Copies of this chain bind each other. A is one copy, B any other.
Amino acid sequence: MLSDVMEDYLKATYVLQREGGPPVRTSDLAEYLGVTPPTVTSMLEKLADRELVEREKYKGVELSDEGETVALEILRHHRLLESYLAEHLDYDWSEVHEEADALEHHISEAFERRVANALGEPRVDPHGDPIPTEELAPLADDDTAALADIEEGETVTVARVSDRDDEHLAYLAERGIEPGAELDVVTVAPIDMVTVHVEGDEIHLPTAIAASIRVERETRATA
């Protein structure tokens, strides 16, 4: 009953709302989705009519519970697909995103279930992002920090890497910076640069990239 495109707007709104908080603005969605602002406005009207978002004109939009559920459903598809491609079809975790984006709107509930089952009901995808449960319960708040904000001398564990950019992902993959990796933060931003040690290697990361790596401070997650 919802088009692919509507599902993408809802997913985008969810992601942006999670990182910037509501309301999500027209221009942010336009940029995220690669579309012009008037296009977003008209879609947002449609979504508001269907009560998938609450819209305040000129302010932006916030997902309704129903809209959030749709977003979680698509996110579950996306992340399950990424996990499956990586685990069973030999994809590298840096090339998995695009394929999942194309498929996420077209799989049945049966497919979702069987893939989840084949994977053993995973909780996180290859980038470290949480996979919504089958019941689509709201996700826990994110309590990680950006690598760019860590102090020199700290040791942290990589929790997530942004799946938004293939190039960055490939760059990090080559250097062993992936969810679960331990990082010693050596220097921060002598000039727009973070230097870390990982597995004995010294790696230099532009701040733009370091900002998209989320880390945990204590090793509390090694349960």
What residues of chain A have their CB less than 8 Å away from a CB belonging to chain B? Answer: 85, 88-91, 95, 98-99, 102-103, 106-108, 110-111, 114-115, 118
Contacts and interface: CB of A to CB of B under 8 A. Distances in A.
A110 B99 contact: yes
Contact of A88 (B88, B90, B99, B102): B88
Contact of A108 (B90, B102, B110, B118): B102
Contact of A107 (B90, B95, B102, B110): B102
Contacts of A108: 98-99, 102
Contact of A118 (B89, B103, B106, B110): B89
Q: Interface SS of chain A: helix, strand, loop or mixed?
A: helix
A102 B91 contact: no
A91 B103 contact: no
B102 A114 contact: no
**This chain: how many copies in the complex?**
2
A118 to B, nearest CB: 6
Contacts of A111: 85, 89, 99
A106 to B, nearest CB: 5
B102 A89 contact: no
Contacts of A115: 89
A108 B85 CA distance: 12
**Shortest beta-carbon contacts, A-B, top 9:** A102-B106, A89-B114, A106-B106, A103-B106, A99-B108, A90-B114, A99-B111, A89-B118, A103-B103
Contacts of A114: 89-91
23 contacts: A85-B111, A88-B88, A88-B118, A89-B111, A89-B114, A89-B115, A89-B118, A90-B114, A91-B110, A91-B114, A95-B110, A98-B108, A99-B107, A99-B108, A99-B110, A99-B111, A102-B106, A102-B107, A102-B108, A103-B103, A103-B106, A103-B107, A106-B106
